[in-house]
Amino acid sequence: MRQEQEFIDLLYERLAEMRAEAATAVRKALALAGNNAQARLERDVAVAEQSGVLAAVDAGESGLCFGRLAFRDGRDHHIGRIGIRRDDADHTPLVLDWRAEVARPFYLATGHTPMGLRRRRHITTEGRRVTALHDEILDLADTVRTGHEGADADAVLLAALDTARTGRMHEIVQTIQADQDRIIRAPHHGVLVVEGGPGTGKTVVALHRAAYLLYAHREQLARRAVLIVGPNPAFLSYIGEVLPALGETGVLLATPAELFPGVTATGTDTPRAAEVKGASAMAEALARFVQDRQTLPDPEIVIEHDDGELRLDAQMAMEARRRARETRLPHNLARPHFAFRIIDALTAQLTDRLGTDPYGGPNLLGADDIAQLGKAIATSREVHRAIEELWPALTPQQLVADFLAEPVHLPEADAEAIRRTGGEWTPADVPLLDEAAELLGEDDSAARAAAEAERLEQIEYAQGVLDLSYGSRTQEFEDRDDEDSEVLGAHDLVDAELLAERHEEADHRSAAERAAADRTWAFGHIIVDEAQELSAMAWRLLMRRCPTRSMTLVGDPAQTAEPGGCGAWETILAPYVGDRWHHARLGVNYRTPTEIMQVAAHVPRSLDPGFAPPRSIRSTGVRPWARRAGDLAGAVAEAVAQESREDGRLAVIAPRSRHADLLPLLPSASAGPAPDLTRPVVLIDPRQAKGLEFDTVLVVEPQELGTSDLYVALTRATQRLGVLHTGPLPAGLAAALPAEATAADR
**Nearest-angstrom CA–CA distance, 659 and 662:** 5
- Residue 308 assigned as binding residue: no
Sign of CA dihedral 612, 615, 621, 627: negative
**Nearest-angstrom CA–CA distance, 446 and 467:** 31
Phi/psi-derived region of residue 600, left when phi > 0, alpha when psi is between -120 and 50, beta in every other case: alpha
- Residue 202 assigned as binding residue: yes
- Residue 167 assigned as binding residue: no
**Nearest-angstrom CA–CA distance, 556 and 573:** 15
- For residues 702 and 726, the answer to whether their CB atoms sit within 8 Å is no
- For residues 694 and 702, the answer to whether their CB atoms sit within 8 Å is no
**Nearest-angstrom CA–CA distance, 174 and 219:** 26
| Cα 692 to Cα 209, 237, 534, distances in angstroms | 19, 10, 18
Q: In this structure, which amino acid lies at residue 203?
A: T
Helices 429-440 and 396-405: crossing angle in degrees, nearest 10, is: 120
Residues in the chain: 746
- For residues 246 and 173, the answer to whether their CB atoms sit within 8 Å is yes
Q: In this structure, which amino acid lies at residue 79?
A: I
- Residue 567 assigned as binding residue: no
The DSSP H or E segment spanning 438 is: helix 429-440
Residue 31: other Cβ atoms inside 10 A: 8
- Residue 336 assigned as binding residue: no
Which of 181, 173, 170 lies closest to 156 in space, CA to CA?
A: 173
Q: In this structure, which amino acid lies at residue 194?
A: V
- Tell me how far apart the terminal alpha carbons of the chain are, to the nearest angstrom: 56
**Nearest-angstrom CA–CA distance, 286 and 282:** 6
By the 10 Å C-beta count (0-12 exposed, 13-18 middle, 19+ buried), 25 is classed as: middle
- Residue 249 assigned as binding residue: no
By the 10 Å C-beta count (0-12 exposed, 13-18 middle, 19+ buried), 50 is classed as: buried
Q: Where are the alpha helices (DSSP H) in 262-313?
A: 271-278, 281-292
What b-and-e string marks burial along 221-233, b requiring 16 or more CB atoms within 10 Å of the CB? Answer: bbebbbbbbbbbb
- For residues 744 and 632, the answer to whether their CB atoms sit within 8 Å is no
Helices 271-278 and 536-545: crossing angle in degrees, nearest 10, is: 50
**Nearest-angstrom CA–CA distance, 79 and 87:** 18
376-380 long-range contacts (CB < 8 A, ≥24 apart) are 376/305, 376/306, 377/305, 377/310, 377/343, 377/346, 377/347, 377/350, 378/343, 380/303, 380/305
- For residues 593 and 694, the answer to whether their CB atoms sit within 8 Å is no
Q: Which residues are annotated as a binding site for ATP?
A: 196-203
Q: Which residues are annotated as a binding site?
A: 196-203
